[in-house]
Structure 1
Amino acid sequence: MRLATLAAGLVATALSALPAMAQQPAADTVAAIRARGMLNCGVAPSTVGFSIPDSRGEWRGIDVDSCRAVAAAILGDATKVRFVPASTQQRFTMLQSGEVDMLVRSTTWTLGREASLGLVFAGVNFYDGQGFMVKRASGVTSARQLDGATVCVQPGTTTELNMADFFRTHNIRYTTVIIDNIEELRNAFISGRCDAYTNDASSLASFRASQGANADQYVLLPEIISKEPLGPVVRKGDWKFFDIVRWTHFAQVTAEELGINSGNLAQFADSANPDVQRFMGRTGDLGRQMGLNNDWAVQVVRQVGNFAEVWERNITPLGVQRGINALWTQGGLQYAPPMR
């Protein structure tokens, strides 16, 4: 009897410890952002089209605009963002520790990351896939011709794991050149330290576009070897902030569906369309339900744009078509649940 009681006590203690660890009170990220008057957003240090400072030091890119949209929703001002460069190896630690409020860094949504890191993905702002790039002079036209090749890749990424799976599946021998800093990695490829460079196809297109007159020297091979849904990441448990980040993206997609953009908002002010009325904050009280002003979606579109505007500003110049990133009504995957 005493053994049974002792065992029951040990089990109860162990079980009670698990929820205590898993249910620590989440920080109120929205309150912290409002108190400091600034959103801290982790981004890639230098990826054209996604996040990179321009010649004036102004950050540009689709991920940068995701950060600005959330600032517009919470603070009413898209300029109230501190962009924090985050390396591939430090990005999750920076978010876990609270150094940044959210991470929008061409980061792939996977089960393992969401299950083990205490983080959660709030949506997809870019559906991507991993590819390979070679120099045109190599004559290589397919990733299956890379047997014995040296490949440049960043460590601690799904890119490294996908490449290993692909080469093992096709019995291809290879050697890796592993460099964390993206600029150093690209320079290694340019200088000939590796025969091929692998990354998300969007990142490879970004790199090629950055080469200007030399862009034609580089070829993106036809194989896409993975699914890479990229999007914003936040800490688990702070569901109010999660909802705001997720629905900010959905608001931009919804605006594109409704034909609302940063230049024509005034034309929709008196619309009789119930969907538009809710979007504009005239009915439904949707903003207040999330702790925001009811015109939060209007501020996002006015200051940052709808999803099409963000794409055309940042991704179209890379020569990348919308493809699966088009609206669901146009054969793509961008689909927003109803705002009601």
Structure 2
Amino acid sequence: MRCWMIGTMAVVLLTAACGRQDAGPTPETTDVAPTTTTPSAVPESPTLAAIKRRGRLNCGVHQGLVGFAYTDNRGQWRGFDVDFCRATAAAVLGDANAVRFVPLSASDRFAALNDGRIDVLWRNSSWTMSRDAGEGFVFAGINYYDGQGFLVRRSLNLNSATELNGARVCVQSGSTSQVNAADYFRSRGIEYRPVVFETEEAARDAYGREDCDAFSADISALAAARTVLTSPNEHVILSDVASKEPLGPVVKAGDERWASTVRWTLNALMLAEELGVTKASVEEQSKAATDPRVRRLLGAEGEFGPMLGLSNAWAKDAVGAVGNYGEIFERNLGSQSALDLARGLNAQWNARPAGLIYGLPIR
């Protein structure tokens, strides 16, 4: 009996083994069906839909900062950030003039995003962790690498901000400038007296009246402030850089596709400079270019515009409206402007000397 049972078990085991061999390995299964991403599968941006319905982009800008956002003697908006507003309108609506500029103070700029008064904030705003992670805004990129500095009178014969021991320093309240100045002096054990004002303009005017010994703000803002002071040559920006200030466009959280639209408009302008596409040449290059990178940028190849809910001419329209990144910089901040700022960190990544401007690839 025992021998019969052993024999029977052997037959069963052998049969099971043969069955497994014939069936092969059992394939792994997943509960998630494979999907493919296509432009039509991406949810439509409610912000973009609203812009198209009203036929206008609502763009938040500085109330008045030479070089960045200001009105000329004819009441027309001009400046670095203003040109990015126009480029965004051209990309989205095909019309660079379809923009309503909304001047905003530092204290109400983010509230304007939250309550829907503006679609995008193109105003010198620093990308910080508290604004990004804490307050939940989405920075779509960096269009200007800045840092905080100190403006003083030449007559003081100062070589460094470390010589401002006991000095009165004008700063704007509730801004990164106020915090950065405190950090700078505290970390060096230097006593100073902050003179705080609600707006940057008020701080600048107080400095002009000699109510303080130094004015601290972003270096680009100091350069702009100096141009409107009496006898600009009597003032100097010290070489000290007290902080990193990555400035860029901001949108409200919850509409990632709209954030992508703003992000890729900025990158298209950066790529245009890198690839040699200018305002004057964009039309011809869109027809005659053989470089696949240029062809993709200008919509002659591929279907990249529809990924954003835009036409294939979105980037071509943006560059055709305001020029590439380098043209925008030179016209408003560089050698063609009153500020005459060097490119510095805002040079292209492959320039000599190299900067930090690096357009993401369109492919």
TM-score (norm 1): 0.90
The AA in structure 2 aligned to 1:214 is S
Is the Cα contact below 8 Å between 2:283 and 2:320 reproduced in 1? no
Q: Which residue of 2 aligns with 1:7?
A: none
Cα distance, 1:266–1:42 mapped onto 2, change above 3 Å:
closer
Q: Residues of 2 paired with 1:81 and 1:210: CA distance?
A: 27
User: Match of 2:260?
Assistant: 243
Specify the alignment match of 1:138 in structure 2: 156
Shift of 1:27: 7.4
1:110 aligned partner: 128
Answer with 1 or 2: which has the greater Rg. 2
One-letter amino acid of the structure 1 residue matched with residue 202 of structure 2 = E
Write out aligned runs for 1:117-128 (5 A). 117-128=135-146
In the other structure, the counterpart of 2:60 is 42
Q: Which residue of 2 aligns with 1:323?
A: 344
SS at match of 1:329: coil
Change (3 A) 1:300 1:27: closer
Equivalent residue of 2:350, what SS?
Answer: helix
8 Å contact from structure 1 (residues 26, 237) kept in 2: no
Q: Does 1:84 align with 2:99?
A: no
Matches within 5 A, 1:1-340: 28-211=46-229, 214-268=231-285, 269-316=287-334, 317=337, 318-330=339-351, 331-340=354-363
Q: TM-score, normalised by structure 2?
A: 0.84
- Map Cα deviations across residues 265-307 of structure 1 (whole Å, 9 max, x no partner): 2331222211111112111110011100001100000011100
Aligned residues: 315
Distance verdict in 2 for CA 1:174–1:26, change over 3 Å: farther
Distance change in 2, residues 1:291/1:47 (3 Å):
same
Task: Give the unaligned 5+ runs of structure 2.
Answer: 1-42
Question: Secondary structure of the residue that 2:356 maps to in structure 1?
Answer: coil
Structure 1 129/256 Cα, relative in aligned 2: closer, same or farther at 3 Å?
same
Q: 1:97 to 1:84 in 2, by over 3 A?
A: same
1:210 CA drift (Å): 3.0
Partners of 1:240 and 1:231 in 2: CA distance: 17
> Could you list the runs of 5+ residues in structure 1 that have no partner in the other structure?
1-24
Cα deviation, residue 176, structure 1:
1.5
Contact 1:96 1:118 in 2 (8 A): no
Aligned-residue Cα RMSD (Å) equals 1.4
Secondary structure of the residue that 1:123 maps to in structure 2? Answer: coil
Deviation >3 Å, runs of 4+: none
Name the CA distance, whole Å, in 2 between partners of 1:183 and 1:254. Answer: 34
For 2:324 and 2:85, locate their aligned partners in 1 and report how far apart those are by CA, in whole Å.
14
- Structure with more helix by fraction: 1
Q: Displacement, 1:209?
A: 2.4
SS at the partner of 1:55?
coil
Letter paired with 1:238: D
Corresponding residue SS for 2:131: helix
Residues 27 and 99 (structure 1 numbering): CA distance in 2 closer, same or farther, change over 3 Å?
farther
CA–CA distance in structure 2, aligned partners of residues 280 and 46 of structure 1: 33
**Quick one: distance in 2 between partners of 1:278 and 1:335?**
17
Aligned-residue sequence identity (percent) comes to 47
Residue by residue, what CA displacement relative to the aligned partner does 1:153-208 show, whole Å, maximum 9, x if unpaired?
11111111111111001111111121122322211000011110000011101111
